[in-house]
Amino acid sequence: MAPSATWTSCPYVGRDGKVNPDVRTLNGPSAINNVGQYSIYGSIAFATRRTTKYSQDVINAIDYFFLNPDTKMNPNVNYGQIVRGEGPKGKKGTFTGVLDIRGIVKVINSIFILKSGGSAEWTNTRDQGMRDWILEYSTWLQESDIGKVTATRPNNHVSFYVAQLAASKYYAGDKPGAVFVLQSFFKKEFRDQIAASGEQPFEGVRAKPVHYRSFNLEALIMNAKLGDALGVDFWTAKSKYGATIQTALDYAITVDPKGEDVGDLLPHVAAVAAAYGDPVGKYKGFLSKHLSTYESKPFWFYNQPGALTKSPTAKTKRSIYLGGGEDDDDGSEPDDGGTITKPGEGASDGGPVNGAPKIPFTCPDAFEDTTKVEIDNGIFVTCEQLRPLYEAEVPGVVA
């Protein structure tokens, strides 16, 4: 059978942990994420060097990718992660394609840096053109069939969906709308994402749990940073079982990786250290063990406590960043980003979080009207599959 016949007449089966080699023939997912990273590097170079070459390089990339009618990406993901095969399913994308556009958050961030730095090259015409693109994309996220399905997933897919939608609303000037999107997530989907131990059951159940825990942490930290920029604290938001983003990170760096690479966790360790502090040097030790040159890496530059004005470290007079001592709390209260805890709480210690009574397991809300939930293309889980992960104790093996 010819390959073209296979693509259109044979059914494709999803296998967790396996990537269809067909996708290696496409450059879409890598392109948007590359332009996002390129834009961040260039905008920071402009802000620190005050050289127009760097701002112009960023603008050229944004023009090419989003504004030039001959080369721009359409503001939708109608064909994202399309699965070849028979029938109509082989002719449109899936809900899993939305997270491939997560690089848009970095693009938006880079534009904010250009604007705050007074870049003359970032003109009002460009800004309006980019706003129009972003508004059209955010409308697609909310109104398309693909976007609506993504918004109902309980795992990393909804976490990245929220990041893109909140960032889009923020850039478009709808700050209340951006805050609402984030608050809704942290008061709903997030509540089922982290067990008392810090395990992320919807990620830990996967064939590559270290990768998926790290992936969702990337989105959770991104959402907390967006809230921070909007003046709202989501760092101290708690799951149904009393766990925070910090709890999830602590679990991820403690559990035995069983051969998986823990390198993707390093930026998240730096972010959590900046947001929550590191009074005993736990995070510094992990970073030093796995990458002795971490202080020379871009992720270290991005994750400095002074940039997080709503984090636990910012709410105290403590010098608890990466192994320092600590002073008295200043008594400040966190903003309402959801259920909250005091600075430094939420870390796993093998027992009930923060000394509170253990909360009995209940099936996640995603199972309210169904017995199985699709968490990736063709990958389904049941409540009973997840239950042991919600009830597991904190591991004792250090990665």
Residue 262 included in any domain: yes
Q: Which domain holds residue 329?
A: 194-399
pTM: 0.89
* Residues 103 and 198 occupy one common structural domain: no
Which is nearest to 222 in space by CA: 260, 277, 185? Answer: 185
CA–CA separation, 73 vs 79, rounded Å? Answer: 12
Residue 159 included in any domain: no
Instruction: Say if residue 359 is exposed, middle or buried (CB neighbours under 10 Å; 0-12, 13-18, 19+).
Output: middle
CA–CA separation, 157 vs 77, rounded Å? Answer: 14
- pLDDT of 328 reads 38
| The domain boundary residue, chosen from 90, 121, 152 | 121
* Residues 116 and 204 occupy one common structural domain: no
- pLDDT of 4 reads 73
* Residues 218 and 363 occupy one common structural domain: yes
* Residues 213 and 361 occupy one common structural domain: yes
| The domain boundary residue, chosen from 71, 99, 121 | 121
| The domain boundary residue, chosen from 104, 121, 138 | 121
Residue 145 included in any domain: no
As a whole-number percent, the residues of the chain with pLDDT over 90 amount to 75
Residue 201 included in any domain: yes
Least confident piece of the model among 87-91, 111-115, 117-121, 305-309: 87-91
pLDDT tens-digit profile of 160-219? 999 999 999 999 999 999 999 999 999 999 999 999 999 999 999 999 999 999 999 999
Residue 128 predicted with pLDDT over 90 = yes
Torsion, Cα of 127, 133, 134, 136 (10° steps): 140
* Residues 107 and 207 occupy one common structural domain: no
Residue 349 predicted with pLDDT over 80 = no
Residue 113 included in any domain: yes
* Residues 67 and 213 occupy one common structural domain: no
Residue 144 included in any domain: no
Least confident piece of the model among 37-51, 245-259, 305-319: 305-319
Q: Total domain count for the chain?
A: 2
Classify 382 as helix, strand or coil.
Answer: strand
Residue 78 predicted with pLDDT over 80 = yes
CA–CA separation, 353 vs 337, rounded Å? Answer: 19
* Residues 378 and 248 occupy one common structural domain: yes
pLDDT tens-digit profile of 227-251? 999 999 999 999 999 999 999 999 9
* Residues 200 and 114 occupy one common structural domain: no
* Residues 92 and 203 occupy one common structural domain: no
Residue 149 included in any domain: no
* Residues 261 and 363 occupy one common structural domain: yes
Residue 19 included in any domain: no
